Amino acid sequence: MSKIHGKTLEELHALLVSREITVVELIEETFDRIKEVETDIDSFITLNEKKALEMAKAIDEKGVSEENILAGLPIGIKDNIVTKDLLTTAASKILYNFEPIYDATVMDKVYQSDMIPVGKLNMDEFAMGGSTENSYFKKTKNAWDQTKVPGGSSGGSAAAVASGQIPLSLGTDTGGSIRQPAAFNGIVGMKPTYGRVSRFGLIAFGSSLDQIGPLTRTVRDNALALNAISGFDEKDGTSSGKSVPDFTAGLDSGVKGMKIALPKEYLDEGVDSDIKEAVLKAADTFRKLGATVEEVSLPHSKYGVAAYYIIASSEASSNLQRYDGIRYGYRSENAATLEDVYVNSRSEGFGDEVKRRIMLGTFSLSAGYYDAFFKKAAQVRTLIREDFKKVFADYDLILGPTTPTVAFGLGEKIDDPVTMYSNDVLTIPVNLAGLPGMSLPCGFSNDLPIGLQLIGNHFDEKTIYKAAYSFEQTTDFHNKKPEIFERSK
């Protein structure tokens, strides 16, 4: 069973179907691997060992059918996705002891597929941050270099997959929080179209922006995972009723005849030269595969960061008012009055970044400033959507870098929120427009992975997967592993 952590979902499935290994053995091996690597990576907040092994035993008893590809496979869950009777903290002190009484809809789908959640993954508190340094519990490290950040807010989800602890995880993406850590860790991360995956049971940050998606080591694995978690949910008022295709169908049909747009704004002076070079080489690869790649303009993208932080913070200030020290979670002991309970519980329970965004959002929504800030940001959002709409009238996909730099050092930018926010400049427009976007590896700079971002039209994840799979099969970046991945007992 050595090196089992390096196998794809389908390879693991084949081993289970043939009974070369049992589900119990696979899950035991997964926990052994987590315990071996976790002290260096710090990607998990809570492990689910007892329940996971019980589930594994039950699946072994009924057997893994050939049709159920994900049955018995381990999966990690970002800790802002509600899990019944399993600690769900959103990496915040204010939810340090919260055990939900229900499951998120994506968890229902995980269980319907017979996947086995092995634990809850670290993140920036309430998904607010781009480095996973804002967690109350721990700081996750990059799989390639433990002195670097893993990205955020889904840093635990990305680092756990990239370090070989699990083959699959779920993250969430509000402004790039799946794609950016996927890029920093050299794996595949998909942010689906807004409404493709139910948000019921996702602890809300920015309700008009949040979306759950999978992180994996290969494109095909990612498509298999999105198949399992997508679909309409009557519990979510923003859930789409559009039918869900098989995202793995036609993966190998190639990109010949496809038209791909390369926005000039995505390669401006803020993007490192190594990243520009890698993305332009990727564009040439697509040309060699038969696609047309042409330069276009998304002129309002440069206003995306400013608009996003007003909109997202405004929605956060509304969403986070429910944490009051009364009903669940942390309650301050330093309280003589009801007002003290509210004020002190929130002051002591929220971290600095969460407080910063609550204050920014509350200010933007206040009577004297709503028109100047929130309304203006909403208008810019509409302009960004229109930019994308014009491009997609003529093109099948948009191509560009995922991030302007590779992973930066732990502690390097945590005290400079404006610089940290600007790192999301290439991912944020996708969320503002509600589009699907993926990051996959396309090169290296200073031995750290570079992410290639592919953006599709609404509900056209299939085209993204086809192009990504063609690129992956033509290149070797997905086969490169960090040193920690190769570590074995």
From the list 153, 230, 301, 313, the catalytic residue is 153
pLDDT digits (tens, 9 = 90+) for 386-395: 999 999 999 9
From the list 78, 93, 109, 120, the catalytic residue is 78
From the list 135, 154, 177, 301, the catalytic residue is 177
CA distance 288 to 290: 5
In angstroms, the Cα distances linking 270 to 15, 186, 302, 353 are 46, 21, 11, 24
pLDDT of residue 486: 86
83 DSSP β-pair partners: 86
pLDDT of residue 487: 80
3-state secondary structure 177-220: CCHHHHHHHCCEEEECCCCCCCCCCECCCCCCCCCEEEEECCHH
Rg (CA), the chain: 21
Q: Is 376 a catalytic residue?
A: no
The single-letter code of the amino acid at 314 is S
Residue 2: pLDDT above 60? Answer: no
Could you tell me the pLDDT band of residue 203, with boundaries at 50, 70 and 90? very high
**Average of per-residue pLDDT across 92-107:** 98
Number of helices (H), then strands (E), belonging to the chain: the values are 16, 11
Domains annotated for the chain, with CATH where assigned, are: 2-252 (3.90.1300.10)
* High-pLDDT (> 90) share of the chain, %: 96
DSSP strand pairing (116-121 vs 74-78)? parallel
User: Among 481, 482, 458, 478, which residue's Cα sits nearest to residue 468?
Assistant: 478
pLDDT digits (tens, 9 = 90+) for 31-77: 999 999 999 999 999 999 999 999 999 999 999 999 999 999 999 99
Q: Is 445 a catalytic residue?
A: no
Tokens found for residue 468: 């990504």
Phi-psi region of 344 (alpha: psi -120 to 50; beta: other; left: phi over 0): alpha
Alpha carbons within 13 A on the beta-carbon side of 96: 16
Q: Is 65 a catalytic residue?
A: no
